[in-house]
């Protein structure tokens, strides 16, 4: 797929979006608006549920979910009977997950953040201390860079 930006640019954009207050899934998803073709408001809404490891359940990392959602738009299938296309897409998703896990240690939010699991639905305030304590900006940047690199390889 022909990308409009370098992997480093997608990475920097995703991290910047996270630092503006978007959740981890939104930050990755919105970084690829040029690929998804979705307007900002719709893209932010459709990816909003996946932050905090799925609504702060601390399951699959939101950055990973955002990455997978973009991959679906960019390389997914739509025919429910398209067995080979489905297999090819799942192989692509599994390769993204394996690479992200290799780079970051896990694809699970609670493992990445060393948290016990589900937390109250109210997100923490985004203060300077929050950004110092949380590596989420780096996870977002990693997911966006990885996806851009993998999509470029498919060109």
Tens of pLDDT, residue by residue over 49-104, are 999 999 999 999 999 999 999 999 999 999 999 999 999 999 999 999 999 999 99
Q: Where are the alpha helices (DSSP H) in the chain?
A: 7-19, 24-31, 33-36, 40-47, 51-54, 62-75, 83-104, 109-113, 128-133, 136-153
pLDDT band at 154 (very low <50, low <70, confident <90, very high): confident
Tokens standing for 66? 């955002």
Computed over every residue of the chain, the mean pLDDT equals 95
Report the alpha-carbon distance of residue 58 to residue 147 in Å, rounded. Answer: 22
Report the alpha-carbon distance of residue 133 to residue 151 in Å, rounded. Answer: 31
CA distances from 124 to 40, 109, 131 (A): 23, 15, 11
Residue with tokens 């937390």: 119
pLDDT band at 119 (very low <50, low <70, confident <90, very high): confident
CA distances from 46 to 21, 27, 30, 50, 69 (A): 16, 12, 10, 9, 10
Q: CA-based Rg of the chain, rounded to a whole angstrom? A: 15
């Amino acid at each position: 797929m022909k990308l409009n930006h370098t992997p480093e640019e997608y990475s920097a954009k995703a991290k910047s979006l996270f630092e503006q207050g978007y959740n981890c899934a939104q930050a990755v998803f919105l970084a690829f608006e040029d690929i998804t073709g979705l307007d900002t408001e719709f893209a932010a809404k459709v990816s909003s549920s996946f932050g905090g490891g799925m609504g702060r359940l601390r399951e699959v990392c939101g950055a990973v979910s955002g990455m997978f959602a973009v991959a679906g738009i960019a390389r997914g299938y739509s025919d429910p009977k398209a067995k080979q296309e489905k297999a090819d897409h799942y192989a692509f998703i599994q390769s993204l997950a394996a690479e992200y896990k290799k780079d970051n240690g896990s694809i699970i939010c609670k493992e990445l953040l060393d948290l016990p699991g589900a937390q109250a639905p109210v997100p923490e305030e985004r203060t300077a201390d929050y950004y110092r304590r949380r590596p989420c900006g780096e996870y977002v940047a990693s997911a966006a860079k990885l996806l851009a690199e993998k999509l470029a390889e498919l060109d």
